[in-house]
């Protein structure tokens, strides 16, 4: 019968495949056994630390080696993450969300601390440092690491928004450094009219976190506020906010800022300023060494100052920077604390700053002679940092920032009228923060 023959063929195939199946299973088992990591018994304590790949270089080169030498028995496993910091935050969040975190030391941007703390992922460090020890750091920086009165983050690298100016042009034209917004506009226009520069003032206007950082400074300068962290009051639909937006729009409307400024991020603005096209730049301290490099057209011609304000207020500078915390789920909190103490200690920071050019978090180092010799603008930076302002340290900062970014960007690019944009932004932010259930 036809079926019989087919049957026999298939049974032969089946026998053969049973054989191959057996081999396959044995191979699979071997692979599994090999890949199960060997049980650790006498291994040193390993602390996992995540940071962006470019930031990791100085750490790999000496910081970690130094620490491990001084602390045998503790190893730091440095994991290089993606370059974009918001992707790094996502990595942390997705790691923490699963329950056990693979990271022991948490390298945090200042705006992440409230979120991580509110989610219960960070260890309370309040008892580990005395008031005296904390006074060694900038007060606002420490405050950025506090949530609900408890300390979760020790500052390691600071960052603060500053206003750069072309002091050579100002001197030539006989101007004093600007103190108010109107000063800034006036001087810019004058310099532009005298054809000293193409543009007056350049800032970051693209829809990203940097926009929020830049905006809080202008907002502070007009006496407005974004979200009050204590009362959760939203100040986006107040007149001061509209004044702030009006100022920014004015810079473009009057031709003081290039129209493309609403697509610029830090590097775009730096290149702009460094090529001598603008008189004023709002950015971060990292620009200084680059702008004073040997091949820079504006070498030696720049000055640094806090951001301007209106006549009644003082200028606001947005605080950025990184700090270290400890994961609540870590198995080695003591060793992690040792690591933090080392990395935020004066000698480690000194080495760090001198080689990589980062801004310190310890106040003493800003005026340290060895460091000032290399970075003469640091004492000025300390002044600015002591008066810095924080972006609202609320747990839902990410969402609030996203709302502000979207509506602000729409207002700045003339897609929506500023008033309706801020009204909508305030409404959405209120709706967002209202969701605290029984608290209201």
Which residues sit at the interface with another protein, rule CB under 8 A?
3, 6-7, 10-11, 13-14, 17, 28, 31-32, 35, 52-54, 79-83, 87, 89-91, 93-95, 97-100, 102, 115, 118-120, 206-208, 263, 267, 395-396, 398-399, 402-403, 405-407, 409, 424, 427-428, 431-433, 435-439
Closer CB to another protein, residue 4 or residue 373? Answer: 4
- Residue 332's φ and ψ, nearest 5 degrees, are -130, 65
364 within 8 A of 346, measured Cβ to Cβ: yes
Rounded-to-integer distance, Cα 387 and Cα 155, Å: 16
Closer CB to another protein, residue 141 or residue 209? Answer: 209
Closer CB to another protein, residue 81 or residue 315? Answer: 81
Question: Min. distance of Cβ 411 from another protein in angstroms?
Answer: 13
Closer CB to another protein, residue 133 or residue 267? Answer: 267
167 within 8 A of 187, measured Cβ to Cβ: no
Question: Min. distance of Cβ 38 from another protein in angstroms?
Answer: 14
Closer CB to another protein, residue 90 or residue 370? Answer: 90
Rounded-to-integer distance, Cα 179 and Cα 309, Å: 7
Closer CB to another protein, residue 33 or residue 373? Answer: 33
Kindly give the residue spans of alpha helices, DSSP state H, lying in 59-144.
Answer: 64-70, 85-97, 113-118, 131-134, 139-144
Closer CB to another protein, residue 13 or residue 173? Answer: 13
Rounded-to-integer distance, Cα 199 and Cα 208, Å: 23
Closer CB to another protein, residue 303 or residue 356? Answer: 356
- Paired sense of beta strands 319-326 and 45-52, if any: unpaired
Residue 63 token pair = 């910081």
Per DSSP, the residues of 2-49 read: HHHHHHHHHHHHHHHHHHHHHHHHHHHHHHHHHHSPPPPSSPPEEEEE
Q: Which residues neighbour 48 within 8 Å (Cβ) at sequence distance 6 or greater?
A: 77, 79, 102, 103, 104, 105
Closer CB to another protein, residue 52 or residue 71? Answer: 52
- Please report where in the chains the tokens 């990591």 appear, as a residue: 37
- Paired sense of beta strands 278-283 and 199-202, if any: parallel
Question: Min. distance of Cβ 147 from another protein in angstroms?
Answer: 11
Rounded-to-integer distance, Cα 199 and Cα 163, Å: 15
Question: Min. distance of Cβ 10 from another protein in angstroms?
Answer: 3
Closer CB to another protein, residue 129 or residue 410? Answer: 410
81 within 8 A of 106, measured Cβ to Cβ: no
Closer CB to another protein, residue 7 or residue 253? Answer: 7
Question: Min. distance of Cβ 161 from another protein in angstroms?
Answer: 19
Question: Min. distance of Cβ 54 from another protein in angstroms?
Answer: 4
Question: Min. distance of Cβ 93 from another protein in angstroms?
Answer: 6
Question: Min. distance of Cβ 316 from another protein in angstroms?
Answer: 24
66 within 8 A of 59, measured Cβ to Cβ: no
Rounded-to-integer distance, Cα 243 and Cα 326, Å: 41
Per DSSP, the residues of 312-342 read: TS----BEEEEEEEEBTT-S-HHHHHHHHHH
Buried b (16+ CB within 10 A) or exposed e, 73-105: ebbbebeebeeebeebbebbbebbeeeebebbb
Rounded-to-integer distance, Cα 262 and Cα 426, Å: 22
Question: Min. distance of Cβ 331 from another protein in angstroms?
Answer: 15
């Amino acid at each position: 019968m036809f079926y019989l023959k087919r049957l026999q063929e298939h049974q032969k195939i089946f026998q053969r495949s049973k054989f191959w199946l057996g081999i396959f299973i044995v191979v699979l088992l071997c692979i599994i056994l090999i890949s199960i990591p060997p049980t650790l018994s006498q291994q040193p304590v390993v602390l996992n630390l995540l940071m962006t790949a470019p930031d990791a270089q100085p750490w790999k080169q000496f910081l970690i080696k130094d620490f491990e030498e001084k602390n045998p028995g503790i190893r730091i496993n440095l994991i290089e993450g993606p370059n974009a910091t918001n992707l790094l935050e996502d990595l942390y969040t997705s790691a923490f969300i699963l329950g056990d975190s693979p990271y022991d030391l948490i390298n945090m941007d200042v705006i992440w601390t409230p979120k991580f703390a509110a989610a219960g992922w960070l260890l309370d460090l309040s008892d580990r440092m005395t008031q005296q020890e904390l006074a060694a750091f900038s007060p606002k920086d420490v405050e950025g690491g506090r949530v609900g009165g408890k300390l979760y983050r020790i500052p390691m690298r600071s960052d603060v928004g500053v206003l750069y100016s072309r002091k050579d042009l100002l001197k030539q034209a006989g101007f004093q450094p600007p103190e108010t917004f109107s000063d800034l506009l006036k001087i810019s226009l004058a310099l532009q009219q005298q054809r000293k520069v193409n543009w007056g003032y350049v800032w970051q206007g693209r829809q990203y976190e940097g926009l929020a950082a830049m905006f809080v400074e202008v907002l502070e300068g007009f006496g407005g506020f974004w979200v009050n962290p204590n009362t959760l009051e939203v100040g986006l639909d107040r007149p001061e906010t509209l004044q702030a937006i009006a100022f920014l729009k004015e810079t473009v409307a009057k031709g003081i800022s290039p129209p493309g400024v609403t697509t610029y991020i830090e590097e775009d603005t730096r290149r702009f300023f460094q090529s001598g096209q603008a008189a004023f730049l709002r950015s971060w301290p990292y620009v200084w060494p680059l702008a004073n490099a040997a091949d820079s057209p504006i070498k030696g011609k720049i000055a640094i100052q806090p951001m301007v304000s209106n006549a009644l207020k003082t200028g606001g500078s947005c605080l950025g920077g990184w700090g270290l915390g400890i994961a609540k789920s870590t198995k080695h909190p003591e060793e992690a604390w040792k690591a933090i103490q080392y990395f935020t200690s004066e000698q480690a920071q000194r080495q760090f700053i001198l080689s990589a050019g980062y801004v310190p978090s310890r106040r003493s180092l800003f005026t340290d002679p060895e460091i000032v010799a290399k970075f003469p603008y640091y004492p000025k930076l300390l002044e600015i940092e002591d008066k810095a302002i924080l972006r609202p340290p609320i747990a839902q900062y990410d969402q609030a920032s996203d709302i502000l970014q979207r509506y602000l960007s729409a207002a700045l690019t003339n897609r929506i009228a500023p008033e309706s944009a801020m009204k909508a932004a305030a409404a959405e932010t209120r709706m967002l923060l209202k969701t605290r259930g029984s608290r209201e």
